[in-house]
Amino acid sequence: MKITVTQKAVKKIKKDYPLIQSEDLVRPVETNEWVTFTDTQGNLVAKGYLGKQNKGIGWILTRENRELDVSFFAERFAAAKNRRNHYYRNEQTTAFRLVNGEGDGLGGLIVDLYEDFAVFSWYNETLYFNRKTIVTAFKKIFPEIKGAYEKIRFESSLPESKQMYGKEAPEPLLIKENGIVYATYLNEGLMTGIFLDQHEVRGRLSDGLASGKTVLNMFSYTGAFSVAAAMGGAVQTTSVDLAKRSLPKTKEQFTVNGLDLEQQKIHVMDTFEYFKYAKKKELLFDLIVLDPPSFARNKKKVFSVAKNYGDLIEDSVDILHPQGTIIASTNAANLSPEKFQQLIEDALDKKGVSYEQTAAYRLPDDFTVYAGFPEGNYLKVYVYQLKQ
Ligand code: SAH
């Protein structure tokens, strides 16, 4: 199907922007087929598809005049696999991202590797509709994968998670990252038990940053940062998360690494309630990890990074050792790295402490970022060291 785009959109596409937005189309159209985008004279501009998702209404897949068939997708998968050679060679890490959407020339599709299994995330209905072509190509390039699961990340009545092909993964499926074991569940809703994009930060915690320290992990989910810290020699970890499931899940992560639960505290609690409790008890930590969701609704209040991150920093300073460390992280795509940094530093200034930024992380390289789409690099992590 041919679809005409505006002159403005032609320019944008030629500048390498891969996302189609509704204002780019001369006439509104919806289709599940692959699409040839043309200028108003009918000349080919790019090939791709339309499909509504949380951002945009479609993706450019190629600027060449070629079929979007099994061999096209196989080429993209082969390139993605090749790019991750250094992950394949590292036996200490058996879970990482295989295909990162537009970063690997496949906007709308994400595939993660968990040991011998793959987890597909479909971000729009059109790719899902064309999944036969895509999965056939995937199997050609990744024949060693024993089984695959899929997550539906667009509005639909389909189950959000199900097995897609091959063998079923054990539950839990034990994966390794930097030599540390994590228990994952490939078929429990959209989340698996670990956020793979934080592997460099976990790596830093396990290879020295947490050594000899007391660590507080806020918004801890399954406690992955706590486990990395404990494996890296933290003398005690405290994990705080509102969700009831976080208690058994966090215990399990420690247990699969043979760690003693005695030195690990786990609280099912609201973060701000925990800050109050810790201040009352005059607790003091050497290192605090802050990694909230970009948006969360609790019974009492709504948390948004832009509005509330400063409060998290201020509360943290109150229970942080005078030479303590804060790891401030956010995955909020709508907040620029500069703004996030400013937010943190404004809060630190307000508390009147001296500090130094000692490290900064963006997405690791298995989460490939497309040069024409820098906003795809949503992760921002800053390490601050307080000084006296
Ligand atoms: N830092 C985690 C991922 C955090 S996901 C990791 O690296 O694995 C966000 C978590 O925040 C969820 O587990 C959710 O239950 C929790 N959460 C949301 N609002 C919260 C609140 N007000 N207090 C404590 N935890 C909260």
d(CA 259, CA 384): 28
d(CA 225, CA 316): 17
- Report how far residue 24's alpha carbon sits from residue 74's, in angstroms, rounded to the nearest whole number: 29
Domains of the chain: residue spans and CATH: 2-62 (2.30.130.10), 70-170 (3.30.750.80), 195-387 (3.40.50.150)
Minimal-distance CA residue to ligand 1 atom 9: 293
Which residues line the pocket of ligand 1, CB cutoff 6 A?
195, 198, 219-222, 224-225, 240-243, 246, 270-271, 291, 293, 296, 298, 303
Ligand 1 pocket test, pick from 184, 201, 219 with the greatest ligand atom count within 8 Å of Cβ, gives 219
What integer pLDDT is reported at residue 102 of this predicted model?
A: 97
| Average pLDDT, integer, range 308-313 | 96
Considering the chain, what is the average pLDDT of its residues? 96
| pTM (two decimals) | 0.97
Amino acid in position 281: K
Indicate whether 299 pLDDT > 70. no
Determine the residue type at 343: L
Please tell me the distance between residue 51's alpha carbon and the centre of ligand 1 in angstroms: 30
- Tell me the per-residue pLDDT of 203-257, one tens digit each, with 9 for 90 and over: 999 999 999 999 999 999 999 999 999 999 999 999 999 999 999 999 999 999 9
User: What is the distance between the alpha carbons of residues 61 and 255, in angstroms, rounded to a whole number?
Assistant: 44
- If we measure between CA atoms, which residue out of 152, 184, 153, 190 comes closest to residue 169? 184
Q: What pLDDT was estimated at residue 21?
A: 96
Angstrom distance (rounded) from CA 310 to CA 93: 34
The dihedrals phi and psi of 95, each to the nearest 5 degrees, come to: -135, 130
Could you read off the pLDDT of 63-81 as tens digits, one per residue? Answer: 999 999 999 999 999 999 9
pLDDT over 80 (residue 296): no
Q: How far does residue 269's CA lie from ligand 1's centre (Å)? A: 10
CA distance to 41, 114, 142, 186, 312, per residue, from 120 (Å): 38, 11, 13, 10, 34
Q: Which amino acid is at 63?
A: R
Q: Can you tell me the distance from the alpha carbon of 156 to that of 248, in angstroms, rounded to the nearest whole number?
A: 31
HSE, side-chain direction, 13 A CA sphere, residue 374: 5
Query: Are the CB atoms for 3 and 50 separated by under 8 Å?
Result: yes
What number of residues does the chain have? 388
Distances (CA, A) of 80 to 124, 142, 366: 21, 11, 9
| Residues 159 and 146 sit within 8 Å (Cβ to Cβ) | no
Instruction: Using CA atoms of 170, 365, 205, 191 in order, give the dihedral in degrees to the nearest 10.
Output: -40
Mutate to test the pocket of ligand 1, among 182, 221, 311 (most ligand atoms within 8 A of CB): 221
